[in-house]
Structure 1
Amino acid sequence: MLAQVIAQQDGSGFEEGEVVWKRLDQKLWFMRSGCEDVSYEVFVTPDLGQTPDAVVKLAETSQWEDSRRHAEYACLSHCWGDSRPDCITTRENYEKNKRGIELSRFSKTFRHAVALCRELGFRYLWIDSCYIIQDDEADWRSQSAEMCNIFKNATITVAAAASRSGDEGCFRRLDDRYRHKELQLPARWRQRMGIDQDVRIWTRRTLPHLLAELPLLRRAWVYQERLLSPQVVHFSENELI
């Protein structure tokens, strides 16, 4: 799968998250089943395609007619940092980006977001630097005013919370100290506790009061993204929140 290829190239921990992806799938199923009448208004957004190739393209929703009202999409919440993405949309490359953008032009964070969304079955992913024409002040002004609707109508928002720039990505190798451990209990304890198997324990690294210290969550711009998104998955250093 493309996700595994990206994980191998980036040295990330994507392939370790199979159980997490299944749980996310379950959550998304419950959300979708309860929101059948919701209209998903999608704007200009990267089309991830229906095959796991290495190209995405910008999609103009004005061409979708009625189908746009039922298109599900994800959003990416991230920090640019000091790195400028090669895939940003400008007036010069707008038409070219609609034909296709190679994943090699995406930052590590963008590639991880694409891999995750494909795993979860999303065809459309909203990324600000791809969606807004960066050197067009009029477009930036008008489209940034729609941010509230964009995040409000997304099915899920992927937040690269621990990354200070696009070079750091979403996924990380889990520190061995925080992996699940099997606890061998004496027989008398098992009998007293009414259990017949070993107990799995783990140490939680990110305490709730420390979340505000994550790089992404220190940005004022992100406040509305967190507030308006119906479902946010935060990628911290050692766990998903």
Structure 2
Amino acid sequence: CLNNHGHLCSTHNIVTPKPRIRLIDVDKRCIVNGSGTENWVALSYVWGGANTVLMTTENINQHETQGSLEGILPLTIEDALRVTQALGERYLWVDCLCILQDCEEDKSIHLPRMGDIYRHAVVTIVAASGSNAAAGLPWIRNSITRSEQLFIQVRPSFRLGDYGVATMMDPPESPDCDYATGSPWSMRAWTFQERLLSRRVLIFTKDLIYWECEQSIWREDCFGELPAEFPQIFTSGFGSGTFWSHLDLSRLWRSHPFDIVNTYRQVVSHYTGLQLTYQEDGLHAISGVLAALEMRSGSKFLWGLPTAMLSAALIWESHSDDDATLSSRNQRRTAKHMLGPTQNSTSHCPFPSWSWVGW
């Protein structure tokens, strides 16, 4: 990607500077304070119910000691460290170890930066198959193969412009083409933003590993690189291809015409169907995407609503009345959004009833 795509997959379109954040030094196995110049890999995963090592005000000094993280990390984070080293990178960002989990002031500083953290990452490792942090990354520790060989119909070859000749394969009946659909990772609200804002992702699923960037996709079940200029390839031959490709959020970073109304509607429609463990994170978990929409369209956002079309954005309605949704609504109505720190303290504010984020 770095060699062949150049500025198309670089940070040239990112106007926000790199945030100064804590990082895991994969060589020294400890937490370090970044200077804002380092390159890092980010991890997108599901905490789940597994016992996860957390950084707190009590153990931060210990975790900053070289070797302190050796042998104590859950499998997913441990495997992500190994992948980071294999990619030739030195630093990894993981939320549970790079944000003080018992300090509201620290959270109020870093949660609004989540979008920039993933946007500036060299690549994001996606643990798409695990239900918790103890699941590990498939294919890292053990070699797994399919127990049943799939038979696929091969179509005649055709020319792909200057890319050469391609051969399409019809998927088998009832294919599992979008390997992350329905997984716990794909249903989490935080991971929605993490995926959409990452410039490059290395995705680990139970069936295969694949790579996506702004320009192409590499998959283990394909020979060669699939150009992003031909999106019909992904839908006609390989199912949905990219995660949430219908949102077309690559437009956020490009100069061609941008339809904020349609994109905003699609983003909110998808996001509101996802799950949050803590309802007070309802706005933080989408703030990075809203910031990107704001930057691209020039419209400010107020409690999740674009001010340029506020009267229209206020006319929203929920399309789900199941018990889980009603329970989440009740929790959201009593939850309070954490505002930024002021004079060494944090303040909280209830979600307004007129915004979808409050329900």
2:197 partner amino acid: L
Q: Which one of the candidate residues 156, 164, 178 is aligned to 2:123?
A: 156
Pair member with larger Rg: 2
Q: Distance in 2 between matches of 1:136 and 1:225?
A: 22
Note the residue ranges of structure 2 that are not aligned, 5 or more in a row.
152-168, 211-359
2:30 partner amino acid: K
Query: Are 1:216 and 2:189 an aligned pair?
Result: no
Aligned partner of 1:147 in structure 2 is 114
Aligned partner of 2:40 in structure 1 is 73
Q: Distance in 1 between matches of 2:6 and 2:19?
A: 15
Q: Distance in 2 between matches of 1:144 and 1:169?
A: 25
Query: Are 1:176 and 2:152 an aligned pair?
Result: no
1:36 to 1:224, Cα distance in 2 relative to 1, 3 A: closer
Q: Distance in 2 between matches of 1:169 and 1:151?
A: 21
Deviation at 1:47, TM superposition (A): 1.1
1:32 to 1:95, Cα distance in 2 relative to 1, 3 A: farther
Query: Are 1:226 and 2:195 an aligned pair?
Result: yes
Aligned partner of 2:227 in structure 1 is none
Aligned partner of 1:57 in structure 2 is 30
User: Identity over aligned residues, as a percent?
Assistant: 23
Deviation at 1:180, TM superposition (A): 9.7
Query: Are 1:127 and 2:127 an aligned pair?
Result: no
Aligned partner of 2:85 in structure 1 is 118
2:188 partner amino acid: R
Helix, strand or coil at the partner of 1:46 = strand
2:58 partner amino acid: E
Which structure has greater helix proportion?
1
Measured against aligned partners, the alpha-carbon deviations of 1:150-201 in whole angstroms (never above 9, x if no partner) come to 01111100010000011110124423336799xxxxxxxxxxxxxxxxxxx9
Helix, strand or coil at the partner of 2:41 = strand
Number of equivalenced pairs? 184
Is 2:57–2:100's contact at 8 Å kept on the other side of the alignment? yes
Helix, strand or coil at the partner of 1:167 = coil
Is 1:90–1:134's contact at 8 Å kept on the other side of the alignment? yes
RMSD: 2.9
1:90 partner amino acid: T
1:89 to 1:120, Cα distance in 2 relative to 1, 3 A: same
Aligned partner of 1:52 in structure 2 is none
What TM-score do the two structures reach when normalised by structure 2? 0.46
Aligned partner of 1:239 in structure 2 is 208
Measured against aligned partners, the alpha-carbon deviations of 1:206-238 in whole angstroms (never above 9, x if no partner) come to 412x53212201101111101100011221101
Note the residue ranges of structure 1 that are not aligned, 5 or more in a row.
1-26, 50-54, 182-200
Q: Distance in 2 between matches of 1:178 and 1:29?
A: 37
Deviation at 1:58, TM superposition (A): 1.0
Q: Distance in 1 between matches of 2:194 and 2:79?
A: 19
Helix, strand or coil at the partner of 2:96 = helix
Deviation at 1:32, TM superposition (A): 6.3
Query: Are 1:46 and 2:24 an aligned pair?
Result: yes
1:180 to 1:95, Cα distance in 2 relative to 1, 3 A: farther
1:30 to 1:72, Cα distance in 2 relative to 1, 3 A: farther
1:140 to 1:40, Cα distance in 2 relative to 1, 3 A: closer
Deviation at 1:84, TM superposition (A): 2.5
Deviation at 1:29, TM superposition (A): 4.3
Q: Distance in 2 between matches of 1:206 and 1:166?
A: 24
2:29 partner amino acid: V
Q: Which one of the candidate residues 95, 98, 102 is aligned to 2:69?
A: 102
Deviation at 1:91, TM superposition (A): 0.2
Helix, strand or coil at the partner of 1:81 = coil
1:48 to 1:212, Cα distance in 2 relative to 1, 3 A: same
Helix, strand or coil at the partner of 2:52 = coil
Which structure has greater strand proportion?
2
Is 1:178–1:238's contact at 8 Å kept on the other side of the alignment? no
1:158 partner amino acid: I
Q: Distance in 1 between matches of 2:132 and 2:114?
A: 21
1:77 partner amino acid: S
Q: Distance in 1 between matches of 2:77 and 2:193?
A: 20
Is 2:24–2:32's contact at 8 Å kept on the other side of the alignment? yes
Helix, strand or coil at the partner of 2:147 = helix
Q: Distance in 2 between matches of 1:36 and 1:154?
A: 9
Deviation at 1:31, TM superposition (A): 5.3
